[in-house]
Structure 1
């Protein structure tokens, strides 16, 4: 599969791209079934809603080995971490050969999976999940440049009721002052300066098998899940092969997987 020049230009301008019905439905069901089993037994490493809400910016940067399985009492899992090594099915999806030419076009060079970031099954559990506030992933990462793209796979329907992704088109190209982000590095929706950008937000309901690619500096968010069913998605991140992680940071602590 190859993208047309028009599609590439749209990605460059907007910072995201939808690939409808890209993944096989049987694969999506298999991934979801495995994920549900890991979620049921809280197989570590995981991140909980409590961790996500309570962590400071500095603490979230340092998280590398979720210990939430040690918490006592009932916890709501926000994501299964380090999924590349959890199951061969997860690994095979992240190494999918069909998407490699697309990633190479967008990145301008061979893609490399970064195990350090995303590499997760993301959840929005019924009623107990929390809102994901406006943020840029790159503000928490440490690479020489911002040539990174995330690959988001919808394992079932995602909509406004269960927490579909929302984006601010073109925000990956906007220059923001530090004052436009709060103490946890969220893009503040109470800041008068930010409101014009936020009014331009878009979202597209996703169906099982849809894939969304989005730039690491694109502002995005998601509502909490107000339905009775869990919303489960798969996300991993690739970078241009020449884009090096900064030594001594979490971005450099994990292996990388070249997709030549």
Structure 2
């Protein structure tokens, strides 16, 4: 796909799927590292469960939903932030200067609930709307095991959060997508494929309804390095006009004179999720 085609597809629909961007060997390394992280081999994270050494990787992973900021403890995940294929696409749809501020490793096992409808920019505000999610499929993602759902091209503004009453989702709130519901599509992708989506793009994932399939995915968030990042990590950090806990992956950082900080620490995602909500 040409640069112009990439840009047009992303701008028109708010997302882009690139099949086979990761090789089989790269995916195998991510899958092995996922087991290493959740079994504590990359360091203990608060809330990790003590388990017998002979327990299978699958049994370990069934105990968890996701970990935030795994790149802080895993050289394999940190290296994935710079993946050449990913960065090549990002420099086309964002610009030449790109930084990463977050990684998340999802291990949605059988029966686990999904994420409700949301827009990433609601949680991670940028000054220029350059936020881009990079969703890397470690396992095949299907409707049955809880793949992404996206509403292409809508909306162009931040929508109101409302109470969630669906058992499909773990979150306490969601977005009422009734006006756009007929346009929602499942994004089923094979292992190694990557979904890029804009910070304003409406997306969700449903419950994993299989009995024996995981839906493992590494999700990293990037933005233009030319923009400041006024993110307090959902209230976990002091308010700031420009969070400098970032990783430059392409081009130049015009704010390099500020230096960088190491403030975010890896944490386990709870089953019932309350990150940031306007619901009182």
User: What secondary structure sits across from 1:26 in the alignment?
Assistant: helix
Give the structure 2 partner of residue 60 of structure 1: none
Shift of the alpha carbon at 1:250?
A: 7.6
Residue 256 (str. 1) matches residue 246 (str. 2): yes
Give the structure 1 partner of residue 226 of structure 2: 242
95, 98, 111: which one pairs with 2:82?
95
Give the structure 2 partner of residue 23 of structure 1: 22
Shift of the alpha carbon at 1:241?
A: 0.8
Give the structure 1 partner of residue 195 of structure 2: 212
Shift of the alpha carbon at 1:40?
A: 3.7
**Distance (Å, rounded) in 2 between the aligned partners of 1:239 and 1:161:** 31
Shift of the alpha carbon at 1:45?
A: 7.4
Give the structure 2 partner of residue 187 of structure 1: 175
Question: Please, what TM-score do these two structures have when normalized by structure 2?
Answer: 0.72
Shift of the alpha carbon at 1:173?
A: 1.7
Change (3 A) 1:132 1:175: closer
User: What secondary structure sits across from 1:171 in the alignment?
Assistant: coil
Give the structure 1 partner of residue 5 of structure 2: 6
Greater helix fraction, Structure 1 or Structure 2: 1
76, 101, 118: which one pairs with 1:135?
118
Shift of the alpha carbon at 1:96?
A: 1.5
Change (3 A) 1:33 1:136: same
Shift of the alpha carbon at 1:70?
A: 7.8
133, 145, 153: which one pairs with 1:162?
145
Shift of the alpha carbon at 1:231?
A: 1.6
* 1:3-55 deviation per Cα after TM superposition (whole angstroms, max 9, x unaligned): 43233112101100000101011110111111023224497776xxxxxxxxx
Count of paired positions: 226
User: What secondary structure sits across from 1:199 in the alignment?
Assistant: helix
User: What secondary structure sits across from 2:174 in the alignment?
Assistant: coil
**Distance (Å, rounded) in 2 between the aligned partners of 1:43 and 1:166:** 32
* 1:124-156 deviation per Cα after TM superposition (whole angstroms, max 9, x unaligned): 1112x1121111111112332321111111112
Structure 1 residues 143-158: aligned runs within 5 Å? 143-158=126-141
User: What secondary structure sits across from 1:134 in the alignment?
Assistant: coil
CA contact (8 A) 2:66 2:104 kept: yes
**Distance (Å, rounded) in 2 between the aligned partners of 1:242 and 1:113:** 12
**Distance (Å, rounded) in 2 between the aligned partners of 1:252 and 1:70:** 35
Change (3 A) 1:250 1:211: farther
- Where structure 1 has 5 or more consecutive residues not aligned to the other structure, the ranges are 47-66, 189-193
Give the structure 2 partner of residue 32 of structure 1: 31
* 1:205-259 deviation per Cα after TM superposition (whole angstroms, max 9, x unaligned): 1111101100111111111112212221111011001111127438955611112
Give the structure 2 partner of residue 231 of structure 1: 215
| Coordinate RMSD, CA, aligned | 2.7
Give the structure 2 partner of residue 80 of structure 1: 67
CA contact (8 A) 2:116 2:173 kept: no
Change (3 A) 1:108 1:250: same
